[in-house]
Structure 1
């Protein structure tokens, strides 16, 4: 049986989900998810891993639908609320989804598909309060298909089993000491492991409360924090940057009040993109918390984490989580010596089953002896791993050097006139690649000449950008991660 759902019976009277101003208990979650199962099953005894997509906002309804699909024997395919119809249609066609569950807010978006496909569409409000005998679900069954961002081609569907999900959850609940008295505020989209696994599923496994904020707003977040109910918070660097900006615009009295509430938290985590050291340091001044950085991917959940108890080193991601094996290898798949850069490879029960209907891509993702290729480059420094960047976009190969774009970005962000930046490699016949930097300024103007002169004092010549562009904002995906291929196009 699915342990995550079985455990809910231990906490029936506790609040599981807080959304839209209402509290929902674990008992209500079990009841409503069973109604979803019965409606999806119709007269079937088992969905037998049919793909059931759903477009439901972050809420109690989302959790009930996800659990209902699982309890009926289906594979859950969460759709992104912010995606246009062609992106949604791609996922539906690729997964061969038989059913879509949606809420009223998405009727207009999905309406062109109602008559043009054979997919069954179920409006959430029309789910009847019926029950039925539910199938027995083994942990080796496929449970979830999440789509990669598609930075190197069309998005691929990452298939994880119930066993994979359980391994991902238990690695975090053990390492981060989750307990039933925790209360997490979830502000991230729920088509990504950060929101689905790290927050929602870890909270529900522990008997804790997961509160949803339907629309991002720094003020709304701080207003919730002021109630002293939330004690766990996880976000992407972009969100912390926006919270810091909002904080800095407040009065001295308001700042002290906010900081007082933040200091009471048990845990604050940053992930899904590299955390600028400057953001980490400023947030620590505000909250008294050193953000816990961790490392993971859609294909494996979380694999490496800074310690919950212990020293967290800025710019580092820590050590392997419980049950996860990590190694660093060179281009010949040979293990590198300590202090040398290498690709992170992962092995463990957390690692995904396959790319949906892509056997060749699945085979290429693993070594002959079963290690998953992350494509991320890191070094092991003293006692923890430090990410240098993604092999395809963050490692710039110029004149025989391998240069970390993240290192250059950290230096650029220390300039008093620079708000943010994105560094990329630009194809070049002579050098292979040259370094380009997209700059977002604060208020004042900054000339390329002055910036070039400044950075030459900070970095060796081979690490300094040769080209600059200035933008009002960096291009980002829905998780707040900078889309560097979009920056590259501006240069090329």
Structure 2
């Protein structure tokens, strides 16, 4: 029996044969196969420059060759990749994997303190950084183990004249590249030119080898690195592909990628699953620039759109977005945060395409559940993906009755190997029978569909009754004058906690708070109705767009 067929329960060490029909032994093999099969097709486009699968193979070979023959890096060493959605990203990642390195996906917007923690914790010896963020690296690099720094500018893969023009405008006119002092840094273009003259030595990784260290958001404490193996990522790529069998047509898909590739959700969908079918990803470097985003969308007859709730809401308000051609759109996937009913209905009404919601987390590579296309249930995260077991347990660790809320626990080939150098933390999120404890409260219906009630840590307890913020927020955003909402618990002398709502209104709208409470009482039990309401211009969010309830709690309590 081959390693890919074993049913070993060790996390991150196996891929069921049903999820690895080609018998790939590494993510590298999967991606190299895609580059060979679809060599003439475009793989990624950003800022008007398309990168074909052939170019991706060639440039990643050059990067791998340089790493192997011009540095002291060896297989198993960690390389941090701190890039936004530019076409350099897939080149660097595939090249690093070809050299046997472990990729440490790094948020370009991290503060120097966050960078220092991640680089030291991962033991990264090399870094590829976007020039616009290099000044933050310069402040802390002497405190880290990083020896090799490679810098790239936004238009480095464009033809020479256009490259010079765009890079100069960004640097000198828009002043988007703060000054930095990194004398040891080398230009990515320069080392690719050197590496392109050398033959790469393809490293043969094993299924159980770590491919990516994916750091958690750190919202519950110090960020930890989830060890995602080649087995984890291959399994999850095919779990997603199996759920999208009737949607994905080889060589025919054009997907919009506004979510950053360093986020595991986007990394797997665009960087693995879509590539395995010869898909074309349109990378959006800055989705917050909505006019430029919509202008880019207008250039493509896109078949897929990968986003999340806040982005759907923002786009649907724009007249230029409403004028786009959605006739080719057959999949809109949502993940990363709860999808509100109002946002889903607005998107469906405007585009004619329903939002297909899924669910996952960093520790599961990430997909756990996904709605079958054409059988979506609004408000549900869908059915568990192939070869995945789930169970819902109470505080005593016992299974809850069907339809009752319980802690969602997951077992499957996509579950991480563990947290990097934190066996105690790994044990804390693992049940005695080997399930990963997600920290999310869910229910499961008789038909198997799962619904996330809320994060356990976000639950509000009013007079002994559980209130799940997502339920309150879903009610609030169904009000025609409310664009976004966040609910948290605040101290209350009579009830222990009370619900406080933070609202962002539709432009031009006004809201009477007492009228709002009457509206909520029509949909919520009295103890769930917000006792306090605060209207704001914006809510605190992660760079991906997820609302930070923790930040609201910290400034309120």
TM-score > 0.5, shorter chain as reference? yes
SS in 1 for 2:363: coil
2-side partners of 1:438 and 1:278: how far apart? 17
CA deviation string 1:365-412 (max 9, x = no partner): 11011000011111113421111111111x222222122211111111
Aligned residue among 469, 482, 487 for 2:534: 469
Worse-superposed segment, 329-338 or 123-132: 123-132
Pairwise CA distance, 1:232: 1.0
TM-superposed CA distance for 1:113, in Å, is: 4.1
Give the structure 1 partner of residue 20 of structure 2: none
Distance 1:105 1:440, change over 3 A: closer
Aligned equivalent of 1:7: 33
Which of 209, 217, 222 is residue 141 of structure 1 equivalent to? 209
Instruction: Give the secondary structure class of the aligned counterpart of 1:185.
Output: strand
Within a 5 Å distance, the mapping from 1:53-452 to structure 2 comes to: 53-113=80-140, 115=142, 117-120=144-147, 121-123=149-151, 124-127=188-191, 128=194, 129=196, 130-177=198-245, 178-180=248-250, 181-216=252-287, 217-247=289-319, 250=320, 255=322, 257-258=323-324, 261-300=325-364, 301-308=366-373, 310-383=374-447, 384-393=449-458, 395-428=459-492, 431-442=495-506, 443-452=508-517
Out of 456-465 and 153-162, give the one that drifted further: 456-465
1:45–1:134 Cα contact (<8 Å) kept: no
Superposed CA offset, 1:256-286 (max 9, x none)? x42xx21321211111111110111111111
Q: Which is worse superposed, 456-465 or 404-413?
A: 456-465
- Compared with structure 1, are the counterparts of its residues 60 and 345 closer, same or farther at alpha carbon in structure 2 (3 Å cutoff)? same
Higher relative contact order, chain-length normalized (CA < 8 Å, sep 6+)? 2
SS at match of 1:437: strand
1:41 counterpart = 2:105: no
Pairwise CA distance, 1:59: 2.2
Q: Distance in 1 between matches of 2:139 and 2:523?
A: 55
- Secondary structure at the aligned position of 1:474 is classed as coil
Give SS of 2:32's match: helix
C-alpha offsets along residues 165-203 of structure 1, whole Å, 9 cap, x if unaligned?
001111111211233211112111222112111222211
Contact 1:231 1:264 in 2 (8 A): yes
> Helix, strand or coil: the match of 2:410?
strand
Unmatched runs of 5 consecutive residues or more in structure 2: 1-24, 152-187
Paired with 1:415 and 1:223, the residues of 2 have a C-alpha distance of 30
Number of residue pairs aligned between Structure 1 and Structure 2: 482
Quickly say closer, same or farther: Cα 1:22–1:373, change in 2 above 3 A: same
TM-score (structure 2 length as normaliser) = 0.82
State the match for 2:18 in structure 1.
Answer: none
Farther off after superposition, 270-279 or 53-62:
53-62
Change (3 A) 1:157 1:457: same
The secondary structure found in structure 1 opposite 2:375 is coil
User: What TM-score, normalized by structure 1, do the two folds share?
Assistant: 0.93
Q: Encode CA deviations 1:200-253: one digit per residue, 9 max, x unaligned.
A: 221112221122122224344443443443211110111111110113xx5xxx
Kindly tell me: are residues 360 and 436 of structure 1, through their superposed partners in 2, closer, same or farther at Cα, counting changes over 3 Å? same
Deviates more, 1:123-132 or 1:329-338: 123-132
State how far apart, in whole Å, the 2-side matches of 1:145 and 1:430 are: 46
Cα 1:118/1:158, change in 2 over 3 Å:
closer
Q: How far has the Cα of 1:423 moved from its partner?
A: 0.7
CA RMSD of aligned residues (A): 2.0
Whole-angstrom distance in 2 between the partners of 1:198 and 1:376: 23
Does structure 1 conserve the Cα–Cα contact (< 8 Å) formed by 2:477 and 2:484? Answer: yes
Q: What is the distance in 1 between the residues matched to 2:285 and 2:215?
A: 22
Bigger CA drift: 211-220 or 269-278? 211-220
Contact in 1 for aligned 2:120/2:145 (Cα 8 Å): no
